[in-house]
Amino acid sequence: MRTDLPRGAVAIITNSKGELLLHLRDDIPSIAWPGHWSVLGGGCDPGEHPRRAIVRELREEAGLTITRLEELCEVFDEHGSGQLITVYAANWDGDAALLPLSEGAKLSWVAPGQLDTLTIPPFIRTAIDRYLAARP
């Protein structure tokens, strides 16, 4: 994989029930994947390491402070942002509706069995599928 690609980071956050915290992106044509369900994350600032970027993005987008992040894999957002995305995993048990969302339409806990009913960017679905396959 090329190392000169723009970088980004996302977090697959699950709760003790095994649900995933998903983010309904704004339906604005000027952003990547408008109106799609995704996980929280975003682009790295110049020179910013992906781990630092995801900590910043979680705090900025949803007021979340999560310190225990497991790096999972990298995926390429070929048809959206063009970024090489580092995927992290974390656990958090809380009420998604109470998070101070600063971007997007809403946050919701979603059971893995409901994923096929949602419109999810292919690179995010790949990351989620890898994550779920590696879990008991």
Instruction: Judge if pTM exceeds 0.85.
Output: yes
Whether residue 35 lies inside any domain: the answer is: yes
The end-to-end CA distance of the chain, in Å, is: 29
CATH number for 20: 3.90.79.10
Task: Please give the tally of structural domains in the chain.
Answer: 1
pLDDT, one tens digit for every residue, the chain (136 residues):
456 789 999 999 999 999 999 999 999 999 999 999 999 999 999 999 999 999 999 999 999 999 899 999 999 999 999 999 999 999 999 999 999 999 999 999 999 999 999 999 999 999 999 999 998 7
- Supply the pLDDT for residue 4: 78
Residue numbers of the domain that contains 30: 7-134
Residue 26, Cβ density class (10 Å: 0-12 exposed, 13-18 middle, ≥19 buried): middle
39 close to 20: Cβ distance less than 8 angstroms:
yes
1 located within any domain: no
| Residue 3 confidence (pLDDT) | 63
Residue 129 lies in a domain: yes
CA-based nearest residue to 25, from 13, 7, 40, 45: 40
Distance CA 85, CA 10 (A): 7
In a domain, 2, yes or no: no
The verdict on residue 59 lying in a domain is yes
Instruction: Give the per-residue pLDDT at 2.
Output: 54
Provide the strand spans (E) within the chain: 7-14, 20-24, 37-38, 40-43, 70-76, 84-91, 106-110
Does 66 map to a domain?
A: yes
User: Is 67 inside a domain boundary?
Assistant: yes
Which residue bears the tokens 């956050």? 13
Residue 79 lies in a domain: yes
Q: Report the distance separating Cα 68 and Cα 88, nearest Å.
A: 10
pLDDT at 135: 85
Residue 122 phi/psi, 5° resolution? -55, -40
